[in-house]
Structure 1
Amino acid sequence: MSEAVFGDLDVSRETFERLTTYVKLVKQWNPKINLVSRKSLDDIWVRHIKDSVQVYRCAQPYASWVDLGSGGGFPGMVCAIMAIEDAPDAQFTFVESDQRKSAFLRNVARECGAKCRVISKRIEAVEPLNADVLSARALADLSKLLSFCDRHLSSSGLALLPKGERWKKELEDAQREWNFDVDPITSLTEPQAVILKIKGVTRG
């Protein structure tokens, strides 16, 4: 099982070992603070790890990466773990208002050696973060996410927003309120889902 997953992810053995540590921590903490659904926990390597790795591989070069509504750390913590080898000087920032989930994220970062900070505030209450890359998964509809991008993404920054099978409807609704460039990338883990690569967000 592990060797098959290792090859499928196309990561170094060191990165795979860090991801394995992360998975163990999710399974330890999940009964207490509900980081992911019990059903998806059984398929965590595909539903959460591989799904997050593909988000990371859509990124442009960056010095700062912001993950909003981080929860259990998908995709942000996976991306921070990937960056230990790929972009060791990059700064990752997680914004998570739930104190228990923030404590979990700090614990994972310490155990896995990921370079990141956790801000335990509501997204709207955080000073603009001027991110080169911004990610958010299962957090809000696209229009709301774009309001967060407008606040926290740099003018040349890239938002990476995984969306499910209703993504076209969300996109149509968002385009009534916002101007932006978008490139939908079909998900490797769910054919009806996409990763929206978004730049140039301005209010319409």
Structure 2
Amino acid sequence: MTRDEFEAATGVSRETTQGFDRWRELLVEANAHTNLVGRSTLDDFWERHALDSLQLMQLIPSGTRRIADLGAGGGFPGLALALACRDRGLQTRIVMIDSVAKKTAFLNRVIGELGVAAEARAIRVEAMDPSEDFEIVTARAFAPLNKLLGFAAPLLKSGTVGLFFKGRHYRDELTEAHKHWTFETEVIPSQTGDGVILRISEVQRVR
């Protein structure tokens, strides 16, 4: 997929596409010395990373104020969502969490250049204040579902929804997670591959 094909497929403005392109340039530059994403995947930035992340927008209500992105890495999906929310005129703030300071330094550099409503924090997910309110919690290539729920459960209060990218073996992850947690699940096929997005709510640890 090319930059122009991405713009046509998503309907975002030329300014927003330019923002994605600048992010891609900074990612290539930083990835030479900091492991943000697999180097081989950067050749397919527009579909594998940008479009893949952007498909979450169809699952995010327009009134959403705060989103937490766990294990943010190179900014997928957090930065993509920040660019898309600005494109749509939404007053949504993205809080990206990663324990590696080099990664959050990169993210904050991109946030500064693009001027989007986001922040990156260099902390471990389990160190987050559970009283902090988010309507949506996202994660992409972060941890197996059972472990991910352990990290995310304090943030997944009543009414908060988890949107988690998973690969083709998601059923195995669901089976394992259900041994330790109860939760509501909606399985949404990915638009860019054979994976899925799990929409998870009402999370409780099995007693």
Q: Which TM-score applies when normalising by structure 1?
A: 0.94
Deviations 1:160-182 (A, max 9, x none): 00000110000111111111111
Aligned to 1:108: 110
Does structure 1 residue 167 correspond to structure 2 residue 170? Answer: yes
Contact 1:59 1:158 in 2 (8 A): no
Which residue does 1:15 correspond to in 2? 16
Q: Which amino acid aligns with 1:202?
A: Q
Q: CA deviation at 1:4?
A: 2.1
Structure 1 residue 38 and structure 2 residue 63: aligned?
no
Unpaired runs of 5+ residues, structure 2, are none
Partners of 2:76 and 2:140 within 8 A in 1: yes
Instruction: Figure out how many residues of one structure are paired with residues of the other and give that number.
Output: 203
Does the CA contact (< 8 Å) of 2:6 and 2:51 recur in 1?
no
Distance 1:112 1:16, change over 3 A: same
Code of the residue aligned with 1:79 in structure 2: it is: L
Decide whether the 8 Å contact of 2:146 with 2:180 is kept in 1: yes
1:96 aligned onto 2:77: no
Aligned 8 A contact 1:59 1:160 in 2 = no
Name the structure 2 match of 1:74: 76
Corresponding residue of 1:56: 57
Deviation digits for residues 72-110 of structure 1, max 9, x if unmatched? 010111111111133542221111111110100001101
Structure 2 residue 145 is the aligned partner of structure 1 residue 142: yes
Q: Secondary structure at the match of 1:33?
A: coil
What's the Cα RMSD here? 1.3
Q: Say if 2:70 and 2:125, in contact at 8 Å, map to a contact too.
A: yes
The answer to whether the 8 Å contact 1:149/1:201 transfers is no
- AA in 2 matched with 1:73: G
Q: Identity across aligned pairs (percent)?
A: 34
2:6 aligns to what? 5
Gaps of 5+ in 1: none
SS in 1 for 2:204: strand
> In 2, Cα distance between the equivalents of 1:57 and 1:156?
18
In 2, the alpha carbon distance for the partners of 1:65 and 1:114 equals 13
Give TM-score scaled by structure 2 length: 0.93
CA distance in 2, matches of 1:187, 1:98: 28
Tell me how far apart the structure 2 counterparts of residues 87 and 159 of structure 1 sit (CA, whole Å).
23
Structure 1 segments (4+ residues) deviating >3 Å: none
Structure 1 counterpart of 2:202 = 200
